[in-house]
Amino acid sequence: MYIAMNRFKVKDGSETDFENVWKNRDSSLSEMKGFREFHLLRGPRNEEEGYTLFASHTIWESHDDFVAWTRSQNFRDAHKNAGTNKVLYLGHPVFEGFTVVEGA
Amino acid sequence: MYIAMNRFKVKDGSETDFENVWKNRDSSLSEMKGFREFHLLRGPRNEEEGYTLFASHTIWESHDDFVAWTRSQNFRDAHKNAGTNKVLYLGHPVFEGFTVVEGA
């Protein structure tokens, strides 16, 4: 099991627009080998810096399945319009990949 | 669905000790109402600052179930020895709680 998260600092006032980008996207992740679950998560607000943390959260069977997706046409299609949404968040999305140490 | 994560910057060389703390703990989380899953996750290494990111990752039915746990004897028991492990990581653990916006 491998968890891929991408963290976005969404600017105050852009939360709904950001959520709609994800709700309205045309995803075919579920066709990929090893894909288990996808969620868009809304985290804490940072009052001082004026953003709310969001994270995409995808569970894969294995790290290899995740890597295969990043090299697929599916991945390129999913990210082709990502640049147009940059106005909604601060800086760049930060990727973090996690392997499971313990638990079930 | 609510995801509670606690992020730890584990010092280089302390990874195995940190993992063992979690593997050997006496957890009764699964007795709590609304508990779904627990995983200890190992994330990326930060070479510059000399640590590896770890995160505890707990899935609850709802935010209310999570809050009820934080007020329980179960929670106090689970954290009573937390101070002794501070030598294994940099700074304080950083808590982030997430609600689900989209996905299933």
Sorted by where each starts, the structural domains of chain A and their CATH numbers stand as: 2-99 (3.30.70.100)
Q: What is the full DSSP assignment across B70-82?
A: HTSHHHHHHHTTG
Question: In which band, very low, low, confident or very high, does the pLDDT at B79 lie, cut at 50, 70 and 90?
Answer: confident
Interchain pair B98, A19: CB under 8 A: no
Q: Tell me the chain B residues in contact with residue A10 when contact means C-beta distances shorter than 8 Å.
A: none
Mean pLDDT of chain A: 93
Q: Tell me the chain A residues in contact with residue B25 when contact means C-beta distances shorter than 8 Å.
A: none
Question: In which band, very low, low, confident or very high, does the pLDDT at A78 lie, cut at 50, 70 and 90?
Answer: confident
Interchain pair B103, A37: CB under 8 A: yes
Whole-number pLDDT of residue B104: 61
Whole-number pLDDT of residue A2: 97
The whole-model pTM stands at 0.91
Tell me how close the Cα of B37 comes to any Cα of chain A, in angstroms: 6
Q: What is the mean pLDDT of residues B57-62?
A: 96
Interchain pair B98, A55: CB under 8 A: yes
Find, among A97, A96, A94, A90, the residue nearest to A18 by Cα. Answer: A90
* A8 touches A87 (CB < 8 A): no
Interchain pair B43, A97: CB under 8 A: yes
pLDDT, one tens digit per residue, over B10-47 is 999 999 999 999 988 878 898 999 999 999 999 999 99
**Pairing mode, if any, of strands A89-103 and A35-46?**
unpaired
Interchain pair B104, A53: CB under 8 A: no
| Lowest model confidence (mean pLDDT) among A37-51, A55-69, B12-26 | B12-26
Contact pairs from chain A to chain B, CB under 8 Å? 78
- Confirm or reject contact between A97 and chain B (CB < 8 A): yes
User: Has the ipTM of the complex gone over 0.90?
Assistant: no
Within a 10 A sphere around the Cβ of B8, how many other Cβ atoms?
23
Whole-number pLDDT of residue A104: 61
Interchain pair A99, B22: CB under 8 A: no
Who's near B5: CB < 8 A, 6+ residues apart? Answer: B55, B56, B57, B58, B95, B96, B97, B98
Judged against a pLDDT cut of 90, whether residue B84 lies above it is answered with no
Contacts with B, A 20-79, CB within 8 Å: 22-23, 37-44, 53-55, 57
